[in-house]
């Protein structure tokens, strides 16, 4: 028998074809307790089916505006003004391409990215990729846990060390919401996103940025690559925007929809899932740009180019914007971002663990393990460095994510370009070419960053 086994058939459509490019047959789905739990109407207009698909994109968008992103955007805006807005724009365009590939992989093969790596590569390679994915999730959670703890400290005066431990309670929040139904979890996330958007709309209006300079900030400049300090912050923004754990998460939660198994149903599911993630990521771009614009207008524009810590930014907003409630809005938005991000990162950790190494435990145990993997190092680091070191730690965590990104992006691009693995839903050549260019840019920037570090 050929060593490459045929994947489980996904539909009865005559145009469908067996997936022969996998070394192993497809196993049980990750996040099995919510797998195909949300019905997609078979009848009615496209609007009803689109409504059923709205949700996963916003869970993914959370990872594109997490507290680590705040730290890099505030540092970039205060230090370089509006110059790095173009990095946020390009990063978001890359994210739209990559997240569309995640939906394509899941819908075409019935596998999330972690399962696909497990089923496509020899076990030693898959284990190495799993360890790198866990490292990325630890870096993600480090930023999100610290961000939530800072938000609690700014709003309620809670010590950072206690705030880190409080974030562990999100495990029980996830369990409660999912017991009600995955839609309730999505509704919780979307509600907090709405609060974040409202907070930033008010703050940007108070900051009154120079809109001509904002528009020029979206134009590319070679200075970003030529200036090592600017490149470091730019890579931090890239790592905070295009995050490895989001690729694993999206390819898993798209499969919460019961979209049917025929080729026609899967084609429509792919279109609707891509639309969902694209709209959600454009919303994330608005939030990310708002953070950078706020920092550029409030700090860089007033000569305070060294602001990088979230606590320092919070304290300066009231005197600079002339509003007593501006700091409170900042703290509320930060806390909402932290809560949202810890929820989605925990789900991503569960998908990675189940997908790569097929651990099957009760839901509360799985989530507690994935949470503790991040809580323990975050608590130690926060207790050791305190508030003074949180800004550098947040930025460093995002650079670590950027360095890990290649190990998720390259397999994703390779899988979705393979007809043997994807069948009739293989990425068209133009999309494969664009995705390959995105992967090349990410790898090239990471190589340059490592070279700059080695050369001092």
Dihedral pair phi/psi, residue 22, rounded to 5°: -100, 140
Mean pLDDT of 228-240: 75
> Which parts of 81-110 fold into alpha helices (H)?
85-109
For the chain, domains (ranges, CATH) are 38-454 (1.20.1740.10)
Angle at 157 between CA 152 and CA 160, to 5 degrees: 60
Per the CB < 8 A criterion, the answer to whether 197 and 36 are in contact is: no
What is the pLDDT of the chain when averaged over all its residues? Answer: 83
Secondary structure (DSSP) of 428-446: PHHHHHHHHHHHHHHHHHH
pLDDT band at 266 (very low <50, low <70, confident <90, very high): very high
User: Token pair for residue 262?
Assistant: 């025929």
User: Token pair for residue 103?
Assistant: 């939906």
Tens of pLDDT, residue by residue over 383-416, are 776 666 666 666 667 677 777 888 999 999 999 9
Please provide the size of the chain in residues: 456
pLDDT band at 168 (very low <50, low <70, confident <90, very high): confident
Tens of pLDDT, residue by residue over 269-313, are 999 999 999 999 999 999 889 989 988 988 887 777 777 667 777
Tens of pLDDT, residue by residue over 56-98, are 999 998 877 777 677 778 888 899 999 999 998 998 999 999 9
Residue 417 in this model has a pLDDT that exceeds 70: yes
Nearest CA to 449 among 401, 399, 375, 410?
A: 399
Give the span between the Cα atoms of 186 and 176, in whole angstroms.
13
Helix or strand run (H / E) with residue 45: none
Q: SS3 sequence, 215-241? A: HHCCCCCCHHHHCHHHHHHHHHHHHHH
Nearest CA to 182 among 109, 258, 248, 107?
A: 258
């Amino acid at each position: 028998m050929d060593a490459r086994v045929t994947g489980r058939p996904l539909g009865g459509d005559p145009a469908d074809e067996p997936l022969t490019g996998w070394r192993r047959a497809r196993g049980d789905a990750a996040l099995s307790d919510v797998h195909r739990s949300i019905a997609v109407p078979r009848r009615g207009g496209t609007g009803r089916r689109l409504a059923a698909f709205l949700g996963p994109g916003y869970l993914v968008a959370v990872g594109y505006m997490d507290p680590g992103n705040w730290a890099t955007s505030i540092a970039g805006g205060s230090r370089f003004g509006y110059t790095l807005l173009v990095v946020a724009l390009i990063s978001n365009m890359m994210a739209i391409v990559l997240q569309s590939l995640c939906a394509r992989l899941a819908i075409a093969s019935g596998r999330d990215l972690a399962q696909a790596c497990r089923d496509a590569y020899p076990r030693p390679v898959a284990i190495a990729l799993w360890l790198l994915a866990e490292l990325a999730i630890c870096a993600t959670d480090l930023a999100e846990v610290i961000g939530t703890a800072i938000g609690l400290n700014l709003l309620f005066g809670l010590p950072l060390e206690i705030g880190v431990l409080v974030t562990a309670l999100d495990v029980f929040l996830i369990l409660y919401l999912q017991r009600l139904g995955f839609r309730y979890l999505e509704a919780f996330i979307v509600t907090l996103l709405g609060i974040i958007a409202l907070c930033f709309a008010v703050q940007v209006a108070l900051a009154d940025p120079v809109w001509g300079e904002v528009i020029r900030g979206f134009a590319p400049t070679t200075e970003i690559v030529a200036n090592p300090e600017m490149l470091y912050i730019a890579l931090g923004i890239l790592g905070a925007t295009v995050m490895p754990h989001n690729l694993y998460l999206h390819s898993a939660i798209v499969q919460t929809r019961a979209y049917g198994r025929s080729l026609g149903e899967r084609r429509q599911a792919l279109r609707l899932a891509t639309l969902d993630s694209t709209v959600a990521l454009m919303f994330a771009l608005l939030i990310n740009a708002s953070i950078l614009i706020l920092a550029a207008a409030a700090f860089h524009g007033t000569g305070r180019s060294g602001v990088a810590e979230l606590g320092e930014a919070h304290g300066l907003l009231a005197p600079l914007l002339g509003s007593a409630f501006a700091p409170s809005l900042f703290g509320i938005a930060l806390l909402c971002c932290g809560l949202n991000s810890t929820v989605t990162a925990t789900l991503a950790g569960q998908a990675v663990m189940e997908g790569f190494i097929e651990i099957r435990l009760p839901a509360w145990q799985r989530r507690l393990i994935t949470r503790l993997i991040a809580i323990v190092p975050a608590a130690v680091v926060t207790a050791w460095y305190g508030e003074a070191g949180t800004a550098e730690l947040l930025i460093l965590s995002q650079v670590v994510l950027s360095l890990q990104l290649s190990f998720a992006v390259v397999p994703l691009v390779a899988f979705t370009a393979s007809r043997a693995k994807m069948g009739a839903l293989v990425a068209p050549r133009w999309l494969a070419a664009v995705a390959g260019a995105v992967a090349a840019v990410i790898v090239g920037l990471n190589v340059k960053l490592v070279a700059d570090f080695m050369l001092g």
